[in-house]
Every structure is written in structure tokens, then in C-alpha cells.
Amino acid sequence: MPNLWTSLFAFVTGQWDVINPHWIGSSTPRDESLRREEVPSWHRHVRASESRTIYPARVIPDLTRGDVANPSGLINGEGGPTVFTRDSAGDEAPSVTVDFGQNTVGIISISFAGSSSSSTSGTVGHGNDERKDQEDSSSRPGIRLAFSETRQFLSNVSDFSRSYNGDTITPGSDQIAVAKDDYTWTAKHGCQYPDEQGRGQVCADGLHGFRYLRIYLDALPSDAPHTTPQGQVNISSLSLALSAYHGTPDTFRGWVECSDEELTRWWFDGVYTNDLCVDEFRGAEDAEPRGAASETLEGKIVLHDAPKRDRDPYVGDLAVAALTGMNYTLPLFDYPLWWVVCSHDYVWYTGDVGYISTYYANLVAVLDGWYVSVTDPETGLVTKGLNGTSGYGDYAFLPRQGPVTYYNALYVIALRRAAEMAAEIEKEGDAERWLAKADDVASTLARRNFDTARGAFWDGTDGAGEFAAAHAQDGNSLAILAGGVVDTSTARGILAYYAGAASRTYGNALYDSDAVGQGFSQRVYAFISYFEMAARFASGVGETAVEEMRRLYGWMAGQDPGVTFWEGIGGPDGRPYEDGFTSMAHGWSTGVVPLMSGYVLGVRPTGPGFRTWSVTPEVSGLKWARGVVPTPEGEGIRVEWEDFGTGEGVQFRIVVWAARGTRGVVGVPVRVRDVVVDVGGRVVYRGRDGVGARFEGEKVWVEVEGGDGVDGAAISVRFVEEGL
């Protein structure tokens, strides 16, 4: 069975060969025009480097310090090596800062062209007797390396290094005792001079996620006598061996383009952000050091939280390893529910129905065991604080208690998804029971937690058991998406309230007040903002979703380091919310990818493996969109749509290609009910419901069969004032 979490990554990004190389060969497009197009237009948006060996893009001139000759030699090799010289420890440390152009992750290699422990006049290798005496000593000139994702937090120690979270062998910089003769040094976690305790002297943390690298001639006092902070070091070149997934254009089985250049670019930036998180799990070398190593993960390709920090597939460990007894404890109140939701997504996107049976006992234990144990029998709502859960965290470790709206809305979603999985393997009794439970929780949540004065859901309760004066983005968004909690009118009211109360220049805040925690009304998480934007699309106010996307992703794209999307944003100035500790390339912040694929393009599975599917594009002020969503069978579902506006004649046209043997429904957006809809020139709707077509929710829903035709299913909408 493919690894669950890398499979989730693959269906989000379209890079299916991560989990099944046999799907690579099925990417030839049906459209003859694309066969003739040598370089598809979307290729220019792909951020991956041409090679897995990456070289720095430039030296930052204003950050060169001390006695450095020919700093640009690091980049272009012209003029010989870059020479760092320091006569004494009291002199300014010579340093060069290189920029790799965008965030990346991997192992640095430096080609040294000789060194000298003495910096007296002369060239390395041609010294006097004094130089020779010093060269014969064991002390070598030290080079230290500091990594950072941003210039803002660039210093002489890394913005984050593995030693910060445990297994501490460095102070945040990597150290090198540079040998006398030419050689290439390659970073490796460990020490050049190890001791019996597994630590030692002249140590490096090894792998780093970063954009900027500072190289400087210096030494730690604790590394004596092996290194000295003075001397001369020549560097001829440096490079990075990419450790993450190399997402070149040929790896893409899915893609999206639209009439808005920025939205298109952000889709590919989101893919690149996720690519940096995909890597082999190496517990002893570069995975999260806080007891996260797992024999079940070692050597497997996994989706880490981020390339720089928290290199561990958190949801996977909690939802699978914890349930099967692995020695890993991080009590998060919501993550088992996310496991249920993600498991459903995995099966529906990949078709691996066997996964349900394999983990069905775990599914039952989560929903019928643990969450029942934290349900208040008087209210029927999941309640944090029961059964010793007061100290439990969640995705953001928020200090909230009681019948929290977010937990209960997520519980409803998990119950509904679990019911669909149960029905798929003919566990009808469980399916019916979970659906009934979902309906009960949904109605109770709407009745007990809704603040009629604000038109939005309360978050949770305070120490006195009263609702705190706070309304949260997560609970309100998931309540809309859960189904059965609120109707469309109420949903739009919630979203209007939240846009007014929590809008910031860099996105929408996590809370509308600071009643739960100081600064929460200024903090933005792209992770949970995804669900608010999805709720906006689902509620028929897609233009407000696009507006929020522009603020959120536009802010991150316009700030250093650019391209990749951040773990969190803090206010009021929109800085990284935990300063340099913040991950600036975080997989959970790439919601723009499924938003564009699942809502703007409109493609989603309605059965395992896209056996059945829906295409329901949300126009949202855009003129056109096109793209492919990969499927386990066939060439994926390809969609092209164009909005021609009002007036007589064709107002909207959409073409859908899908594999033979599948069937789906296309939700065609219409401005009024009185339109004519045809499929391939055959009228299927003329202002009233008919066979295979119906009007509901500002769309005409048309049933479509997959096939092998080059032309696809072409659906057109025409407005005709008379003759309907």
C-alpha cells in the first residue's frame, strides 16, 4: 500500500509518480493542440531547479564583511577562488552571504582550495618558516555556516538548526576545520572530532532548509585546539544537493492556469512549497529530534511538516502510529479527526479501498471510543476538559476549553466521511449510525453555540463555563462546510461578519478578538484560512474567496523569501509569527492548490478513485480557467471553461475530458434559470428540469459519461429571452 501521507501530497500537487511510477505513462493529453505544443504555457511557472545539484544565484554585496577577496568567485568561478583572510581573532570576521534565489533544502558541499592557519603575507602554500610551524600544528582555520530563510533573521547563527530542538551538538552554526590541501567538504550531521557521548568538537547539524547562507572565518572557543578563528581559507565553489522531491515539469500529472496570472503562479508556488516538504525519513540524521523516530517510517518517502523545522509527518504519527502503539506522545485533541478526514480523501483520490478495511478498527476506535469518552452527555457535544483533556493541544496549541465549535464541526465532518467509507465496504449499520450522530451533533451545535447577536459561532467557554467573547475562523468555517449545521443564507451571514471583523492586510485573522489569547486577532494561519476560503466558494460568494486569496498569498509572495508559503503570520505588521523560528515553507499553508483545483477548476471525486466525480467551477470574477486533476486511471480529468459574460448568444462554455468507464456531473454556473444548455450541440436543458439536467443553487447540473473522444464533453450555456 502506498504511504498515506505521500499519497495525499501527490493528489494535491498532481505529482503522482511519488506513489506509483506506473501512472507516469498515462499523461499524454487527449487534446491534439496540446500534442502540438512543444512547451506548454504552464511550464514557465514551475519553480523546481533544472538539476538536483543547485548553485547559489548571487552573492549579496552589502553583506560581505571583513577581508574577503573575489567574493563573486563563489558564483561564477572567475578570478580564482574566494579568499577569506583574518590576521587575528580581534579583526572583523570575514564573511560572505550567498542567496540561492528561493527557499531550498538539502546538503551543502564546499570545495576548498587550500587553507593556512597563518594569515601572514603570502599566498596559501608559499609561506615562511613561521607559517610552516603553524601549519604543522593541529589547529586549522575554522569556517562557520549560518542558514536562514529570510534576510530579516539572518545572523551568525541559523534561524533554525536541528540542535535547537534537541540532539544539541552546535550553537546554531555548522563548524568546519578546513584542511590544508584542496578537498570538498560535505555537510553531515555529526562532529569531526566525536567523543564517547556521541557529541564532540567541530560539529555540524547537516541538512538545512534555507534561502540564504552566511559563510565566515571564525571558530568556537570550545572547538580548540582543532580550530582557530584566524588564518586564510580559499573557497572555489559551493553547491547544494537537493534532498526533497524534485518537481520538474515532467513530474506533473496535474496543473492549473487561469485568467489571473497571480493565482496561476501561486498554484505552482504552493506545489513547490509542498515539494520541499517531501523527503526520505531519516530519523537519526535530520528528522525531528524530539522522540519522533519511528521504525515504520525509516527510509520511506514522507511529507514532513516543513523542510527547515518539524521534519516529521505529524498527522501520520498521531493518527496511525499512536493508534498502533508506537512510542510517540503529543496529545492533540483534533488530530485523530483529521486522520479520519484525510483517510477519506486518500481513498477517494487514489481508489485504494483496501485501506478502509485495513484501518477500519482504528476508525471505529476513534469515533466510537475516544470521542464518545469526551462527549458531554448533557449537551451531546464533544467537550475539551472532560476525561483529563484540559491540557491537550490542537493544530495551533490554542488555550480553549469546553464545547469548542471547531472540534464539534470537525467531528461532524469526520462522522460523515466515515459513514461514506463504511458504506463502501458494506458496513451499513455503522454508516447509518455515524450519519445519525453527525446530524445530532450538527443540530445541537447550531442550537447551543450560535451567537445570534453577531451572526457567528462562539469559539468555546471561559473558566466560568460561559462562552468567551470570541468567534474563531476555524469553527465558523468548518461549521459551514460540515453540512447540516447552517443553511446558505446563514453561512453567507457568518462570512460577511468575519470579513468585517477579522480582515487584515495579510489575510483573515484566526480570531475576531484577543479574548482567548493575546495577539490572536492579528494572527493569520494559511492552514485554517483554507477552510474559510473553501466555505466562501461553497456558499456561492467565490469573489470574496479570491479577494482573501489575494491578501493572504499575495502578502507572502511579496515578502522575503518569496515563492514559498509561511507557517503563520503575526500582526499587526504581517511579520513571521514566531520570528526566525517560523517555517517559511510550510506544507499546511498551500491551500491555494486544492482551492484552485477543486473550486476554480471545480474537479472533485465523489467516489473512490474518481469512479464518480463532479466538476463544479466557481467563476468568481475570472474569465477562464483550464487544467488537469490527476486520477489513478486514465489521463486525469481535464477541464477548460470560459465565461463570456451576459448578453445573447453563448454566455459560458466548459469542456470536460474524463476516462471511459467513469461518470460525473457538471455544475454549470448560470446567472438566471431561463437559459438553454447543450452538450455537444444537443439541448439537455431549456429553462426547466429534464432528463439528465436540473437547476439547483445557481447551477444547471448535467450528467456526463467519461469517454475517449478528443473533443471531450462540450457544454454551452445560451440565454434566450423567448422561446423557452
Instruction: Read off the pLDDT of residues 102-111 as tens digits, 9 standing for 90 and up.
Output: 999 999 999 9
State whether 567 and 641 are in the same domain: no
Which residues does 388 contact at the CB level (< 8 Å), separation at least 6?
Answer: none
- What is the pLDDT at residue 383? 98
Q: Is residue 468 predicted with pLDDT exceeding 90?
A: yes
Q: Is residue 227 part of a domain?
A: yes
Which helix H or strand E contains 310, and what residues bound it? none
Read off the CATH number of the domain in which 198 is found. Answer: 2.60.120.260
- Residue 304's φ and ψ, nearest 5 degrees, are -70, 160
The arithmetic mean of pLDDT across residues 691-718, rounded, is 88
- Domain boundary, last residue among 242, 273, 290: 242
State whether 507 and 610 are in the same domain: no
Q: Is residue 107 part of a domain?
A: yes
- What is the pLDDT at residue 211? 99
State whether 581 and 605 are in the same domain: no
Q: Is residue 33 predicted with pLDDT exceeding 60?
A: no
Read off the CATH number of the domain in which 714 is found. Answer: 2.60.420.10
- What is the pLDDT at residue 10? 57
Q: Is residue 136 predicted with pLDDT exceeding 70?
A: no
- What is the pLDDT at residue 448? 98
- What is the pLDDT at residue 503? 98
Q: Is residue 694 predicted with pLDDT exceeding 70?
A: yes
Q: Is residue 381 part of a domain?
A: no
Q: Is residue 538 part of a domain?
A: yes
Q: How many Å apart are CA 269 and CA 564, to the nearest integer?
A: 6
The arithmetic mean of pLDDT across residues 576-592, rounded, is 95
- What is the pLDDT at residue 497? 99
- What is the pLDDT at residue 92? 98
Single-letter amino acid code for the residue at 368 = D
Instruction: Read off the pLDDT of residues 202-212 as tens digits, 9 standing for 90 and up.
Output: 999 999 999 99
Q: How many Å apart are CA 27 and CA 632, to the nearest integer?
A: 11
Q: Is residue 93 predicted with pLDDT exceeding 60?
A: yes
The pLDDT confidence band at residue 628, using thresholds 50, 70 and 90, is very high
Q: Is residue 510 predicted with pLDDT exceeding 70?
A: yes
The arithmetic mean of pLDDT across residues 291-305, rounded, is 75
State whether 628 and 651 are in the same domain: yes
- Domain boundary, last residue among 589, 616, 639: 589
The arithmetic mean of pLDDT across residues 512-529, rounded, is 97
The arithmetic mean of pLDDT across residues 354-372, rounded, is 96
Q: Is residue 624 part of a domain?
A: yes
- Domain boundary, last residue among 560, 589, 618: 589
Confirm if 318 and 330 have CB atoms less than 8 A apart. yes
What is the count of structural domains for the chain? 3
Which helix H or strand E contains 412, and what residues bound it? helix 405-424
The arithmetic mean of pLDDT across residues 425-448, rounded, is 98
State whether 87 and 212 are in the same domain: yes
Q: Is residue 76 predicted with pLDDT exceeding 80?
A: yes
The arithmetic mean of pLDDT across residues 114-127, rounded, is 63
Q: Is residue 321 predicted with pLDDT exceeding 50?
A: no
Which residues make beta-bridge pairs with 67? 85
State whether 532 and 646 are in the same domain: no
Cite the beta strand spans of 140-226 per DSSP E: 140-148, 174-177, 183-186, 190-194, 200-204, 208-217
- What is the pLDDT at residue 17? 58
The arithmetic mean of pLDDT across residues 488-499, rounded, is 98
- CA distances to 464, 574, 670 from 720, rounded to whole Å, are 62, 49, 13
Q: Is residue 28 predicted with pLDDT exceeding 50?
A: no
Say how many CA atoms lie within 13 Å of 563 toward its Cβ.
21
The pLDDT confidence band at residue 709, using thresholds 50, 70 and 90, is low
Q: Is residue 1 predicted with pLDDT exceeding 50?
A: no
Q: Is residue 170 predicted with pLDDT exceeding 70?
A: yes
State whether 165 and 199 are in the same domain: yes
Q: Is residue 288 predicted with pLDDT exceeding 50?
A: yes
Which residues does 282 contact at the CB level (< 8 Å), separation at least 6?
Answer: 298, 299
Per DSSP bridges, beta strands 140-148 and 227-228 are parallel
Q: Is residue 460 part of a domain?
A: no
Q: How many Å apart are CA 450 and CA 462, to the nearest integer?
A: 16
The arithmetic mean of pLDDT across residues 485-510, rounded, is 98
- What is the pLDDT at residue 567? 95
Q: Looking at 437-446, 581-590, 702-711, which range is the least confident one?
A: 702-711
- What is the pLDDT at residue 219? 98
- What is the pLDDT at residue 13? 59
- What is the pLDDT at residue 16? 52
The pLDDT confidence band at residue 626, using thresholds 50, 70 and 90, is very high
Q: Is residue 517 predicted with pLDDT exceeding 80?
A: yes
Q: Which three cell numbers stand for residue 480?
A: 459551514
The pLDDT confidence band at residue 530, using thresholds 50, 70 and 90, is very high
The arithmetic mean of pLDDT across residues 587-608, rounded, is 96
- Higher confidence at residue 35 or residue 495? 495
- What is the pLDDT at residue 299? 80
The arithmetic mean of pLDDT across residues 356-373, rounded, is 96
- What is the pLDDT at residue 119? 63
Q: Is residue 720 predicted with pLDDT exceeding 80?
A: no
Which residues does 133 contact at the CB level (< 8 Å), separation at least 6?
Answer: none
Instruction: Read off the pLDDT of residues 372-415 as tens digits, 9 standing for 90 and up.
Output: 999 999 999 999 999 999 999 888 889 999 999 999 999 999 99
State whether 667 and 537 are in the same domain: no
State whether 578 and 672 are in the same domain: no
State whether 570 and 712 are in the same domain: no
State whether 177 and 137 are in the same domain: yes
- What is the pLDDT at residue 310? 79
- Secondary-structure breakdown of the chain: helix, strand, coil percentages, each rounded to the nearest 5: 30, 25, 40
Which residues does 168 contact at the CB level (< 8 Å), separation at least 6?
Answer: 199
State whether 224 and 196 are in the same domain: yes
Q: Is residue 194 predicted with pLDDT exceeding 50?
A: yes
- Higher confidence at residue 312 or residue 522? 522
Q: Is residue 27 predicted with pLDDT exceeding 50?
A: no
Mean pLDDT of the chain: 89
Write out the DSSP string of 496-561: HHHHHHHEETTEE-SBSSSSSSTTTTT-B-HHHHHHHHHHHHHTT-HHHHHHHHHHHHHHHHHSTT
Q: Is residue 305 predicted with pLDDT exceeding 90?
A: no
Q: Is residue 354 part of a domain?
A: no
Q: Is residue 338 part of a domain?
A: no
Q: Is residue 544 predicted with pLDDT exceeding 60?
A: yes
- What is the pLDDT at residue 120? 52
Q: How many Å apart are CA 226 and CA 212, to the nearest integer?
A: 27
SS (H, E, C) 336-359: HHHHHHHHHHHHHHHCCCHHHHHC
The pLDDT confidence band at residue 137, using thresholds 50, 70 and 90, is low
Domain with 641, as residue range(s), is: 601-719
Q: Which three cell numbers stand for residue 193?
A: 572530532
Q: Is residue 289 predicted with pLDDT exceeding 50?
A: yes
The pLDDT confidence band at residue 668, using thresholds 50, 70 and 90, is very high
pTM to 2 decimal places:
0.92
